[in-house]
Amino acid sequence: MKNIAILCSGGDVSGMNAALKRFVEYTLAKGLRPYFVYNGFEGLIDNEIVEAGYGDVSGIITRGGTKIRSARSQRFHEKHYRQKAIENLLSHHIHAVVVLGGDGSFKGMKRLSEESDIAFSGIPATIDNDIAGTEYALGVDTALNVIKYAIDAVRDTAASFSRAFVIETMGRECGYLALVSALTSGAEMCLIPELPYDLEHYKRRFLREKEEGRTYFIAVVSEALDNTEMIRQWFETEIGMEARTTILGHIQRGGNPTVHDRMMAFHFVTQAIDGLLGGKKESVVCYRDGGFDYLPIDDVAFRTYRLPESLLRLGKEFNTLSRV
């Protein structure tokens, strides 16, 4: 394995550029020749494969997103396009690829591995932190910090105007961002798809707190519930408080990567390359129990992620506290 490539697939996250920097520096130190694949799996099909060097990663560690860009590829579902991708890799004498992405990216990685002799190593990279087998995915800490700053700023306005604010976080099917953000920002309400909630319980508690002098509320809800506007109206009609919504959207994906995400990028990439050099053909680097491990793609991409019980217990306290 002399030539090795890296690509980003699916949603971008802060920390990807840090991963690219480590990838170039570590591969060169190992006597390998690094390549960038631009535009994810689409770039594999279109042969956007370019040799990389130190100059390509100079100064990028502070930047969010990914220098080599990312994409989602419908063409990749068709076998003749995957064959084209394989041919393009082999034309550059590339026999190993590191893929930063989520479940969909790893499924695509598995298909290529099954259809060729090319080895693949996956690195979990999604702010939703919803990948089975790993406790952490690249970009999560930066996203949580972006949300933290946003909620802290909104709280100032909520307190100044005696309003309720309903803040929507990302999380297509997972409430991780909403739950952790609500817990660490001191929110009064947290609604996520993993836990049932009873608005009557919240109503009794909030009305009582208003009588005792509370002048504003912060509610954090996951986009997976698709009920942000309904909750805003609920505050006005049931709690009798003027309410606003703040949908954080894609700002959660960007921003200057935190120290934690830079270090995790360093470790993930190191483990991925070491695994490939050690003969692992198709694995995903996972972080759990304070260390790194390699799991088969089937144990990651084809299993349903579940929030840790320790987090769910904390989430249930929101409902417990709402009972009077």
Q: What is the pLDDT of residue 324?
A: 38
- Give, for 151, the enclosing helix (H) or strand (E): helix 140-161
In the block, residue with structure tokens 């480590």: 22
pLDDT computed for residue 323 by the predictor? 42
148-205 pLDDT tens trace: 999 999 999 999 999 999 999 999 899 999 999 999 999 999 999 999 999 999 999 9
The angle at the Cα of 247, spanning 39 to 146, to the nearest 5 degrees, equals: 65
Q: What is the pLDDT, as a whole number, of residue 1?
A: 66
Q: Which residue has the tokens 């990216």?
A: 105
The answer to whether domain 3-139+257-301 and domain 141-253 are alike in fold is yes
Closest CA to 300 of 124, 136, 113: 124
Rg (CA), the chain: 22
In a 13 Å sphere around the CA of 143, the CA atoms on its Cβ side amount to 30
Spans of all domains in the chain: 3-139+257-301, 141-253
Q: Which CATH architecture has domain 141-253?
A: 3-Layer(aba) Sandwich (3.40)
Please give the structure tokens belonging to residue 280: 């692992």
In whole angstroms, give the CA distance from residue 239 to residue 308: 32
Q: b/e string for 50-70 if b means 16 or more Cβ within 10 A?
A: eebeeebbeebbebbbbbbbb
Q: 3-139+257-301: which CATH topology? A: Rossmann fold (3.40.50)
**pLDDT for the residue numbered 319:** 73
Q: What amino acid positions are annotated as catalytic residues?
A: 128
- pLDDT, averaged per 10 consecutive residues of the chain (324 residues), comes to 94 97 98 98 98 98 97 94 98 98 95 96 97 98 98 97 98 96 96 95 95 97 97 98 98 97 98 97 96 96 94 86 49
Residue 90 confidence (pLDDT): 98
Q: Which two tokens stand for residue 187?
A: 């929110």
